[in-house]
Amino acid sequence: MATLTYRDALNQALREEMQRDPDVFLMGEEVGVYQGAYKVSRGLLEEFGPMRIVDTPIAELGFAGIGVGAAMAGLRPVIEFMTWNFAVLALDQIVNSAAKILYESGGQIPIPIVFRGPNGAALQLAAQHSQAWDAWVSHIPGLKVVAPATPADAKGLLKAAIRDNNPVIVLEGEMLYNVKGEVPEGEHIVPIGQADVKRPGRDVTFICHSKTVAVALKAAEQMAEHEGVSAEVLDLRSLRPLDEEAILGSVARTNRAVVIEEGWPHAGIGAQVVDVIQREAFDQLDAPVLRVTQADVPMPYNKQLERLAKPSPERVVAAARRVLYLD
Amino acid sequence: MATATAQTTHAPAQHELEHRMLRQMLLIRRFEEKAAEAYALGKIGGFCHLYIGQEAVAVGSLAALREDDYVISSYREHGQALARGLPANVVMAELFGKATGCSKGKGGSMHLFDAGRRFMGGHGIVGGHVPLAAGLGFAIRYRGGDQVCLCYFGEAAVNIGAFHETLNMASVYKLPVIFLCENNRYGMGTAFERVAAVTDVVEHACSYDMAAELVNGMDVLAVNEATRRAAERARKGGRPTLLEVRTYRFMGHSMSDPLHGVYRTKEEVEEQRKRDPISQLAGKLKEEGVLDEAGLNALDAEARAAAEDAVRFADQSPDPDPTELTTHVLAD
Ligand SMILES: Cc1ncc(C[n+]2csc(CCOP(=O)(O)OP(=O)(O)O)c2C)c(N)n1
Ligand SMILES: [Mg+2]
């Protein structure tokens, strides 16, 4: 297995899928000549040419809609948003076109499209450029949503997304692009809808995804070292469909859970996870489930304030201590 | 001399086309009248936007297309669906929300689909389907085909960002798309000139270096010819066209909207009714001696019978099975 960055794992997935299927094309701002705003599409224009690596004007609504239209005709577009902050301008096409045409047409017209790009906060980019849309997109029937945390999952989930016959949202992370990890070569598919235990444990489950997996792993390490607590880290990987079985299986083992996400608390992903747990595993719980999220504020620019706003290992440890009644 | 020859050789084919278009316009008119009745009886629910007055636009333009071309429209699309050849029965059944409808009762009046006829839907968000048309055009170009995509939208969609983003990209990427604006003067109760700085829609084409034509939408032949020219431009050179087709709706915006009163006068509607596209074509055919009153009555009777049949079919069709609630959310 080769060690790759998350960025190069995505690049490999794109390249392999484009080699495999001539109907796959990539469209977005700066994907071609500039080689990608975050270099995910490096080298692809040279290999596949401008008909398949399509530079667009800054017109998110327009090119997202062109993607959906192309998918209506049976192509398999991958639409890159420079970041999900800008994809908000395209929500009409994602929500009203991509997610609904199959249903509205009585099953006649599937929309095999991928919408991808970095989601959530990077560093000191302030409020408009630091937003996690996980909960927004996961709310919509007709979409699938994945949020890989590791290079291997990034490759496997993007390949699965491209081969899926439905609109799939792939939430990446600017802060993840440089993360390195082992990535299986060639045909490596991570099925959509399967969570993954990133660290097994007995005493409490940390349910997380995307960037918060690293946060949870760090918290688990600290708790093992300093408090002798064994925390399980469950990476959801897919937000829709949600792997309820994996969530319930883990909670059945640990009887306690903390749900961690990058987004805001109100009506967030964690709220959905907690709903599943209280409904299906009420009797197995030894403590209320707690959540660690971004502070319920627009993201501040100031470095210290920004750090306070984001989920951190310290906040996860604090929540874990409470569900373990250690305080 | 050359023109005269051309006319004689083409005359039968042209008359056949005109005859066919008259028939289709009559079918749409009678179908819509029946839909209005059914709506009043509560058999059709929700929003229902009739096409009466605008028949020449759908019929004239679709007669210029091939079977393998794509068609996409807004929520005012009953006429285009019928002119595209969707059977009146399945269109009416869809308005009734029945399992036999062209979208299995899940789309309704605003979401008529027929993938086989490349009728890529009715869409309900004003201007939202305009980028989809460019995407269909993109797919044609991607595959190196010579089809076109014909996209209908109302003049109110011209004020939406999606329209402008799409026209720009269609021109930049040289997409074989015909953007056909049905300018019926009003978006619901708002006259276009009250909300548009530029009231000649064709002028927007300049901003996007696009070919454009202003067309009389009450003249089915004019619509047909303009669409032919646009289709030719798209097939041969992969260039998009903006057609502004001036038309008028004789009915209210939707079934819940009165014919006139608040935003337009009775006199205006009556004046416009004198330009009825169906009487105009029927008049022309009579003048040329290829149709007489009896022939016209026979065509009309046929259209009325088809519309009545469609209502009967829709009425007798079953509702979708309750299990259909959760099908087609995701594809396999
Ligand atoms: C984005 C959006 N805003 C508002 C509406 C509500 N609405 C439906 S039709 C309509 C008027 C549209 O007029 P026009 O585009 O001229 O088409 P026409 O109804 O005249 O055929 C409005 C405001 C909508 N469907 N979509
Ligand atoms: Mg209008």
Q: Tens digits of per-residue pLDDT, A239-297?
A: 999 999 999 999 999 999 999 999 999 999 999 999 999 999 999 999 999 999 999 99
- Would you say residue B307 lies in a domain? yes
What does CATH list as the number for A2-183? 3.40.50.970
Question: What domain count does chain B have?
Answer: 1
**pLDDT tens for each residue of B82-129:** 999 999 999 999 999 999 999 999 999 999 999 999 999 999 999 999
Has residue B4 got a pLDDT over 80? no
The answer for A255, left when phi > 0, alpha when psi is -120 to 50, beta otherwise, is left
- Asked if omega into A313 is within 30° of 0 (cis), the reply is no
User: Confidence class of residue B9 from pLDDT cuts 50, 70 and 90?
Assistant: very low
Q: What ipTM was estimated for this complex?
A: 0.97
Q: Where do the domains of chain A lie? A: 2-183, 196-323
> Dihedral (C-alpha) B100, B104, B110, B111: value to the nearest 10 degrees?
-130
Instruction: Answer yes or no: is B240 within a domain.
Output: yes
Q: Report pLDDT digits (tens) over A74-89.
A: 999 999 999 999 999 9
Q: Tell me whether A26 touches chain B (CB under 8 Å).
A: no
Q: Is residue B33 part of a domain?
A: no
Question: At A81, phi and psi to the nearest 5?
Answer: -100, 135
- Ligand 1 atom nearest to CA at B153: 15
A221 is catalytic: no
pLDDT value for B259: 85
User: What's the rounded Cα separation, in Å, for the pair B145 and A22?
Assistant: 15
Per-residue pLDDT, averaged over B279-297, amounts to 96
Q: What is the mean pLDDT of residues A215-223?
A: 98
Residue B245: CA count within 13 A, CB half-sphere:
36
Nearest residue (by CA) to ligand 1, atom 20, is B187
CATH of segment(s) A196-323: 3.40.50.920
> pLDDT at residue A191 above 90?
yes
Interface contact flag, B120 A102, Cβ < 8 Å = no
Cα-flanking dihedrals φ and ψ of residue B121, to 5°?
Answer: 105, 155
Judge whether A232 counts as a catalytic residue: no
Ligand 1 centroid, distance to B187 Cα (angstroms): 6
Helices and strands counted in chain A (H then E): 13, 14
Which atom belonging to ligand 1 lies closest to the Cα atom of B155? 16
In this structure, is residue B2 part of a structural domain? no
Catalytic residue among A16, A17, A60, A80: A60
Cβ separation of B136 and A112 shorter than 8 Å? no
For residue B332, tell me if it sits in a domain. no
Question: Does some domain include residue B282?
Answer: yes
How close does chain B come to A77, measured CA to CA in Å? 10
Q: Which positions in chain B touch A64 (Cβ < 8 Å)?
A: 131
CB atoms within 10 A of CB B229: 15
Quick one: pLDDT at residue B10?
60
Distance A67 CA to ligand 2 centre (A): 27
Give A109's contacts in chain B (Cβ within 8 Å): 113, 115, 120-121
In a domain, B216, yes or no: yes
Place of tokens 């003067």: B185
Indicate whether B5 pLDDT > 60: no
Ligand 1 atom 8: residue of nearest CA: B126
Contact B115 A75 (CB under 8 A): no
Most informative mutation of B123, B126, B155 for ligand 1 (most atoms within 8 A of CB): B126
Percentage of chain A with pLDDT > 90? Answer: 99
Residue B84 maps to which CATH number? 3.40.50.970
Nearest residue of B to residue A103, measured between CA atoms? B328
pTM for the full predicted model: 0.97
How far off is chain A from B1, nearest CA to CA, in Å?
A: 46
Q: Could you tell me the residue range of the domain that residue B174 belongs to?
A: 41-189+207-317
Residue B330 with chain A: CB contacts under 8 Å: 102, 142, 144, 166
Distance from the A87 Cα atom to the nearest Cα atom in chain B, whole angstroms: 14
Q: Is B154 in the pocket of ligand 1 (CB under 6 A)?
A: yes
Q: Indicate the helix (H) or strand (E) that contains B90.
A: helix B88-95
B163 in a domain, yes or no? yes
